[in-house]
């Protein structure tokens, strides 16, 4: 990725400020070496690569079936919607725009998937009109590139107590994908809260 000298200088200065070895104590040779290494690390951290490419099959338009479990012992509620997934910020993040109707009420959601080059982990965030919270998830994708497990701890919307959540994503070869949200009280048994079944309608 090409960035301007001014931008690189600003970002590099920030990175050096949080370095393990005090910058002012380094020799001129050490400073040059560290500058070169820091520039390379910065470029590696900010440039999309293989981790992002694994998400490419999710790009497109999809019909979405939304299943919601209010009671794990009963059948889920079912709603219909659609989603459009696009690359944003130069191919760094997948943006999901979901629109559905639940019991006659409009339900909208915005999500982001990304791969953090520095930590080598996948991350996701989710916001919708059913909450005022932003959900944050972090985890790994398996070697096949078809399944990911991301975890989070968030406050229960009903009681405010911690709730351990898992976002389980499975991606078919053609891009159809299933996203499941599982949750459990801390130390309790996990159960499925929601499932989104996305079937491609357009690339």
Report whether CATH 2.40.128.20 matches the domain 52-202: yes
Per-residue pLDDT of 62-85, as tens digits, reads 999 999 998 888 999 999 999 999
Cα(150)–Cα(190) distance, rounded to whole angstroms?
14
Averaged pLDDT, 164-178: 95
Task: Find the largest Cα–Cα distance for the chain.
Answer: 69
Cα(106)–Cα(59) distance, rounded to whole angstroms?
24
Cα(191)–Cα(181) distance, rounded to whole angstroms?
9
H/E element holding 34?
helix 28-46
**Residue 155 or 89, more confident:** 89
């Amino acid at each position: 990725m090409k960035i301007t000298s001014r931008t690189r200088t600003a970002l590099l200065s920030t990175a050096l400020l949080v370095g393990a070895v005090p910058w002012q104590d380094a020799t001129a040779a050490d400073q040059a070496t560290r500058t070169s290494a820091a520039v390379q690390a910065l470029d590696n951290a900010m440039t999309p690569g293989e981790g992002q490419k694994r998400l490419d099959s999710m790009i497109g338009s999809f019909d979405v079936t939304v299943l919601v479990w209010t009671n794990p012992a009963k059948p889920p509620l079912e709603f219909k919607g659609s989603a459009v997934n696009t690359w944003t910020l130069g191919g760094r993040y997948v943006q999901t725009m979901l629109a559905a109707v639940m019991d006659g009420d409009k339900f909208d959601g915005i999500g982001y998937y990304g791969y953090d080059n520095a930590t080598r982990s996948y991350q996701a965030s989710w916001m919708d009109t059913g909450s005022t919270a932003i959900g944050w998830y972090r985890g790994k994708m398996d070697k096949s590139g078809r399944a990911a497990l991301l975890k989070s701890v968030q406050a229960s919307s009903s009681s405010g107590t911690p709730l351990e959540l898992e976002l389980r994503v499975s991606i078919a070869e053609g891009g159809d994908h299933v996203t499941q949200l599982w949750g459990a009280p801390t130390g309790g048994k996990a159960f499925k809260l929601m499932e989104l079944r996305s079937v491609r309608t357009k690339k």
